[in-house]
Amino acid sequence: MIHDPNRIYVFDTTLRDGEQVPGCQLTTSEKIEIAKELELLGVDVIEAGFPISSPGDFQSVVELSKAVSEPIICALTRANNKDIDAAVAALQYAKRPRIHTGIGASDMHIQYKFNSTREEILRRGVEAVKYAKKFVEDIEFYAEDAGRADNAFLAQMVEAVIAAGATVVNIPDTNGYCLPDQYGAKIKYLMDNVKNIDQAIISVHCHNDLGLATANSIAGIMNGARQVECTINGIGERAGNTSLEEVAMVLKTHTSLGKYTNINSKKFHQLSGMVSRMMRMPVQPNKAIVGKNAFAHSSGIHQDGVLKFRENYEIINPEDVGINQSEIILTARSGRHALKHHLERLGYVADKINLEEVYERFLILADKKKEINDDDLLSLMGEGTNNYKDGIHIKLLQVQCGHPLVPTSTIQIEYKNEVKEASATGNGPVNATINAVNAIIGKDINLKELHIDSIHGGSTDSCKVTMTLVYDGKTYMGYGFHTDIVQASAQAYLDAVNKFI
């Protein structure tokens, strides 16, 4: 078989091995939806199911064969004719069909699973390949529990099934037993001792029982394997399978390895979420590549380093896996640089902010809350204390309203170390307060929008006031938070004014 020795084929078994997780079964329509996304992702092979296992699995293979055209569609069987007949029937509509048949290779499986001998197991494996070859050209053979198999016998089995017509031979570390150097050496042994090894592609299929699935897969690739079998999010029986996104990004990041896939990594984030939702299996937050914390930074030292130069603490650009940007999480461990970054993101001009004053109050709040969100920051900036180096600050606010009084507001503000006071009327207490502020600052300001929202609900709750002002042809947003709507409105107005005055 002629192929690019540096091209790694991606065999996705999310819909077969991945679906064996208890409680994660999919309907046929859900499988089709995921399969179409896998096709767009660029996988080379989709293992669609185990047709003889149930009528539903059989039908899923049939429908997936109709739904996708680019990837090879693969059906799993055991080494017997009935299984293979079912796979052939299920694959009748596949444009590029593959039968994946095999049998145990380790002495443990031969003795305790099959109660058989090496010679008999070898015969059954060869006969299964020959029988499947009568119907489908592309035959993959799996030597189950190859990770614990004797290397000399494994080489004998691989050579025999290739001679019988296998185009791909899968060397599974079925129980996740091997260490990377052991597994890599096993693949190298096969490459060096199987005479017809050049006539087939060697595939790695590793489980994660010791957390080594990705490392073992990479070790196999570096020793001659040209296909990697994996799942989205690393889902699968027990501790799971090799994670597709991890292997793809290892090869993409370590270009010195000289290996590549045809995977469009920018689709990882979206596809990871789809599989997680459909299979009702959350992705652990610290999962490599697609976990919610994979590109999140909360340490002040790390945040400062990332903001100065992303690669200080990120070896992968988040955009390469479909995430817009890194997440700088504000906590009590965050520094001034991270706080400044978020304030600028919210529209504040760093040169005008009294950062030391805001940072001191930020730390007090951060000690009370585990994580600071945007509303918390807006609240800090909308309180009207010394947030701005040369800003306007409220010293006193008093309003009179209610039938039959005319709404009147008296406000006292400090600006450039000078305290000024004014009173004004309006069509309500908020309008009167704005008129009083304008009487002091003497600016032609247009209030474009005003929104008042209850943060949690209830008459005693704090409210959030958002104001949009237009001054000198430019638009400015201001925010205020308080249990008193008028006080919150005054804070929001001055928060916006302080951005341009």
Residues making up the binding site for Mn(2+): 17, 205, 207, 241
SS3 annotation, 9-59: EEEECCCCCHHHCCCCCCCHHHHHHHHHHHHHHCCCEEEEECHHHCHHHHH
Quote the tokens at residue 88: 């052939």
Q: Is 495 within 8 Å of 382 (Cβ atoms)?
A: yes
- Beta strands of 109-253 (E only): which ranges? 139-144, 168-173, 201-206, 227-230
Name the DSSP letter for residue 330.
Answer: B
Q: Determine the Cα–Cα distance for residues 232 and 273; give it in Å rounded to an integer.
A: 10
- Beta strands of 236-317 (E only): which ranges? 296-297
Q: Please compute, for residue 69, the number of CA atoms within 13 A of its CA located in the half-sphere on the CB side.
A: 0
Question: What number of other Cβ atoms are within 10 A of residue 412's Cβ?
Answer: 16
Task: List the beta bridge partners of residue 399.
Answer: 409
Candidates 267, 288, 309, 158; CA nearest to 215 is: 288
Binding site, by residue number, is 17, 205, 207, 241
> Residue 469 class from Cβ within 10 Å (0-12 exposed, 13-18 middle, 19+ buried)?
buried
Q: Determine the Cα–Cα distance for residues 422 and 438; give it in Å rounded to an integer.
A: 9
